[in-house]
């Protein structure tokens, strides 16, 4: 009797072990996009101010104003695609609360200041024709026209998208293969910054094409 009980226990144990080892999972993941779209900034995306004295900068109520710099910005797609543009502030810990202002890094644990990225509508060309900038504040559910474009930090405004249209339609971005504009980068140094020695500007943002 004891032998039969032992044999049954061993049989159950072996069956359970075989069942546990008899399966495994395979997961297929990835993202399929309608086309390959590549964003490009001139000068490798570098905005260089060189060496400036604080006294050379214009003092305003917002701080010491850095001269505006411009970069050529383009998005080229292998086939017509509907997309939007978003940006992420890589120095968010040094930026103010405004979602369209990006941080310039820190100096001796002090926030240096901020910069913004925008463009005038006159410079926007989509597939060879005059383009229009549209934006969404609800992750693409609704769109509205704006005269000039400005990028928001996705970390502070996760539902904000910037799109491009050849008609100014509020329905959403139309499929395009080419977008070209002149990006204006300008910023301010904080007034209350204590400056001891040289200070290095350290602004950084990542621009991303989001397929719709």
pLDDT at residue number 122: 95
124 found inside a domain: yes
> Is 12 within the bounds of a domain?
no
When pLDDT is averaged across residues 85-93 and rounded to a whole number, the result is 96
pLDDT of residue 168: 73
The average confidence (pLDDT) of the chain is: 88
Q: What is the CATH number of the domain that holds 162?
A: 2.60.40.1090
Determine the structural domain holding residue 75 and report its residue range: 28-211
User: Residue 96: what pLDDT?
Assistant: 92
The count of structural domains within the chain is 1
Q: What is the mean pLDDT of residues 179-198?
A: 92
Q: How much is the pTM?
A: 0.83
Q: In whole angstroms, how far apart are CA 7 and each of 13, 17, 19, 21?
A: 10, 16, 18, 21
């Amino acid at each position: 009797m004891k032998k039969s009980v032992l044999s049954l226990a061993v049989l159950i144990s072996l069956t359970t072990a075989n069942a546990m080892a008899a399966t495994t999972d395979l997961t297929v993941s990835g993202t399929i996009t309608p086309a390959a779209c590549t964003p490009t900034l001139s000068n490798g995306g570098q905005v260089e101010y060189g060496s400036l004295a604080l006294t050379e900068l214009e003092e305003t109520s917002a701080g010491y104003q850095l001269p505006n710099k411009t970069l050529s910005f383009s998005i080229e797609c292998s086939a017509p695609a509907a997309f939007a543009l978003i940006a992420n502030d890589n120095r968010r810990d040094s930026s103010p609360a405004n979602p369209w202002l990006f941080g310039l890094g820190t100096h001796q644990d002090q926030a240096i200041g901020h910069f913004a990225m925008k463009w005038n509508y006159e410079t926007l060309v989509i597939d060879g024709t005059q383009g229009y900038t549209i934006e969404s504040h609800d992750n693409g559910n609704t769109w509205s026209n704006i005269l000039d474009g400005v990028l928001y930090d996705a970390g502070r405004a996760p539902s904000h998208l910037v799109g491009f249209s050849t008609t100014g339609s509020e329905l959403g971005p139309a499929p395009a293969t080419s977008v070209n504009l002149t990006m204006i980068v300008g910023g301010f140094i904080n007034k209350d910054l204590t400056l001891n020695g040289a200070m290095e500007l350290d602004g950084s943002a990542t621009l991303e094409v989001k397929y719709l």
